[in-house]
Amino acid sequence: MRIRSFLILALITVLVTAAAIVASIGNSRPHSSIAAAGPMLPGLSERLGDVAAVVVREGGKTLTIHRTGSGGWGLAEYGDYPARIDKVRETARALVQLEKAEAKTTRADRWSRLSVDDVDAAGSTAKELILRNTAGETVADLI
């Protein structure tokens, strides 16, 4: 290899490396004020026994799974049709174990792409899960 070819190749390498550094610095992600690690619903395991209803909302529709007087769980909108207790427990365990993975975006105009926009907005594909106690107070709320 000639010295001239080597110098041209070295110059190109330096320029490409500099361009990559500039591109990576200029393309930094916005940082969320929400911690990116840890439980999604901290303290839920201690309050899980207080949960008397699970409300699922999507596109103007609501489904309420609540404790019935007989000690089981039923679907309120369907005349207290019995809900499978094993599925209710499985969902509760999954919510307690739910962990934050990483912040995705702080830009509200992109929330609909992730289905975390306002549940009541027209055309929204978001789903909201609300846990309530016997007094009707919200124990946990998650989109």
pLDDT over 90 for what percent of the chain? 21
For position 77, what pLDDT does the model report?
94
For position 119, what pLDDT does the model report?
83
Q: What is the pLDDT of residues 85-122, one digit of tens each?
A: 888 889 888 988 988 877 777 777 877 777 788 888 88
Which amino acid is located at 115 in the chain?
S
Q: Which residues pair with 56 in a beta bridge?
A: 63, 129
Q: What is the pLDDT of residues 24-71, one digit of tens each?
A: 776 555 555 555 678 888 888 898 888 999 999 988 889 999 999 888
Residue 80's region, left for phi above 0, alpha for psi from -120 to 50, else beta, is left
For position 1, what pLDDT does the model report?
62
